[in-house]
Amino acid sequence: MAIIVQKYGGTSLQTTERIKQAAGLIIGEQKKGNQLVVVVSAMGNSTNRLVQLSREVSSCTSGREKDLLLATGEQVSCALMALALQEKGQAAIAMTGEQAGIEVEHLHGNARITSIDSRAIKKELQQGKVVIVAGFQGAAASGEICTLGRGGSDTTAAALAADLKAGRCDICTDVDGVYAADPRMIPHAGKYSYMDYDSLLTMAEMGAGVIHPRAVAHAKEYQVPLVIRSSFCEEPGTWISNDPSPTSVAGVTYQNNLCHLRLSGSRLKKEKLLEWLKDMDIIGTTSVHLQTEEFLVVIKEDDLDQVITCLDQSKVQLGIQTIQTEVQKAAIHLVFGQEEGKRKQTASLNEKEWMPLKEIHPIDSHTAVWSVSVPEEHGTDMARRVYDAFVGVNHHKFPLAY
């Protein structure tokens, strides 16, 4: 019997009806002769509601208590899913991250998984049960509950699949696979039938919300086959493996709620600034553009206060004289399946007549990505222009399913 790990996201568990629907799909997979480990996220927007509750009672940002609070969201989903399965006659058991043997760093809010002791899970599987695991959390060696950050349930699933040597890891979500662009923004975007780890990892790092980058990196490291599929039907999803995609263009991603930080100074220490940004874990989720005496750093608006505070403390060390802030920005990323494809096309990209905006900034975000930042009000239109010009025309070359 193969072990299959499935992860169900918040939108897939938004209501009790959706939980019961997902339970039906889980039982269907079990009846194929597989053993099931199911990782669940918090229901719908419950994590945001828990964050809001904490803000209503206190302005303190205690990481310990916040993690203790937020971890309950996944535990609610976990228990409800086990109950839904039991109601349908399927033996099931719910486990917190700690009960499932997931050990993490003692770092509140953004911990990484350090090890997994899956003996308890295997024992329950041998008894014919579906094991439901609360995602997004684990316990540090000290016994403290720590969360893995946004998208942490994806990472939980990939890590469990690697440890259990699962036949595959299904990421069950509200879309039925990986698209060459967000189909909610670009309805005519095509869906991939398969994609390689590196292309999906780059798209995830550049804002594609279908899976968390850490989960893809983990799956690649341990060669776990991933399938991105729908929680609401049994349509074929997108298989993720080492098989290289035949196209040099992977797709277009979009990020909003961004802001610009213009860092300038006649003695700006660019190399030190790059190292500082990397140490702050900003590189990879944001973009940096070098000019003669200026850096244009594109960051998430949510991170603005923290980054400004830290930059103020390091201004002299980094040679920064002024910091200017511009909000309501968006970024559009054209993701290439390979670095060579970017090198061949970047020059013509920057000269295209379909880029009519004056407030457009090419940004150096990744070796296999061409990116621009624009005012947020023009972001959606710009993403469509980029897609139609450089992805839509190559559909016939894509391993796409329509």
Interval 193-241: pLDDT, tens: 999 999 999 899 888 989 999 999 999 999 999 999 998 877 889 999 8
Given a cut of 70, whether residue 321 has pLDDT beyond it is yes
Is residue 353 included in any domain, yes or no?
yes
Q: Are 113 and 148 in contact (CB under 8 A)?
A: yes
Is residue 318 included in any domain, yes or no?
yes
- Candidate ranges 69-78, 305-314, 337-346; pick with highest mean pLDDT: 69-78
pLDDT in the model for residue 102 = 98
Is residue 190 included in any domain, yes or no?
no
Residue of higher predicted confidence among 274 and 83: 83
Is residue 188 included in any domain, yes or no?
no
Task: Let me know whether 380 and 259 are in one domain.
Answer: yes
Number of domains in the chain: 2
Residue of higher predicted confidence among 321 and 74: 74
How confident is residue 242, by pLDDT bands cut at 50, 70 and 90? confident
pLDDT in the model for residue 340 = 53
pLDDT in the model for residue 402 = 35
pLDDT in the model for residue 346 = 52
Task: Let me know whether 149 and 270 are in one domain.
Answer: no
Task: Let me know whether 255 and 166 are in one domain.
Answer: no
Given a cut of 50, whether residue 358 has pLDDT beyond it is no
Q: In CATH, what number is assigned to the domain containing residue 98?
A: 3.40.1160.10
Report, as an integer, the average pLDDT of 89-106.
Answer: 97
Task: Let me know whether 254 and 130 are in one domain.
Answer: no
pLDDT tens-digit map of 20-53: 999 999 999 999 999 999 999 999 989 999 999 9
Tokens of 196: 């390689």
- Among 143, 174, 205, identify where a domain stops: 174
Task: Let me know whether 115 and 257 are in one domain.
Answer: no
Pairing verdict, β 191-192 and 238-241: unpaired
How many other C-beta atoms are found inside a 10 Å radius of the C-beta of residue 112? 16
Q: Which of 338, 368, 325, 326 is nearest to 205 (CA)?
A: 368
How confident is residue 9, by pLDDT bands cut at 50, 70 and 90? very high
Task: Let me know whether 156 and 303 are in one domain.
Answer: no
pLDDT in the model for residue 362 = 55
Is residue 233 included in any domain, yes or no?
no
Is residue 237 included in any domain, yes or no?
no
Residue 138 Cα distances to 33, 76, 154, angstroms: 29, 15, 13
Q: In CATH, what number is assigned to the domain containing residue 377?
A: 3.30.2130.10
Task: Let me know whether 163 and 298 are in one domain.
Answer: no
Residue 262 Cα distances to 322, 359, 361, angstroms: 8, 14, 12
pLDDT in the model for residue 284 = 45
Given a cut of 70, whether residue 368 has pLDDT beyond it is yes
Alpha carbon distance 400, 402 (integer Å) = 6
Half-sphere exposure of 162 (CA within 13 A, CB side): 20
CA 372 to chain centre: 21
pLDDT in the model for residue 361 = 59
Tell me if the pTM is above 0.75.
yes
Q: Which residues contact 321 (CB under 8 A, 6 or more apart)?
A: 264, 265, 266, 315
Quickly list H helices, 166-255.
Answer: 197-205, 213-221
pLDDT in the model for residue 218 = 92
Given a cut of 70, whether residue 172 has pLDDT beyond it is yes
Task: Let me know whether 38 and 154 are in one domain.
Answer: yes
Report, as an integer, the average pLDDT of 111-138.
Answer: 97
Is residue 291 included in any domain, yes or no?
yes
Q: Which residues contact 136 (CB under 8 A, 6 or more apart)?
A: 41, 42, 70, 71, 73, 74, 97, 147, 148, 152, 153, 156
Task: Let me know whether 8 and 156 are in one domain.
Answer: yes
Task: Let me know whether 302 and 390 are in one domain.
Answer: yes
By residue range, what is the domain housing residue 68?
Answer: 3-174
pLDDT in the model for residue 357 = 47
Task: Let me know whether 8 and 153 are in one domain.
Answer: yes
Q: Are 359 and 376 in contact (CB under 8 A)?
A: no
Q: Are 121 and 131 in contact (CB under 8 A)?
A: yes
Q: Which of 280, 286, 279, 283 is nearest to 259 (CA)?
A: 286
Task: Let me know whether 140 and 277 are in one domain.
Answer: no
Given a cut of 60, whether residue 266 has pLDDT beyond it is yes
Report, as an integer, the average pLDDT of 358-387.
Answer: 77
- Among 117, 142, 174, identify where a domain stops: 174
Is residue 213 included in any domain, yes or no?
no
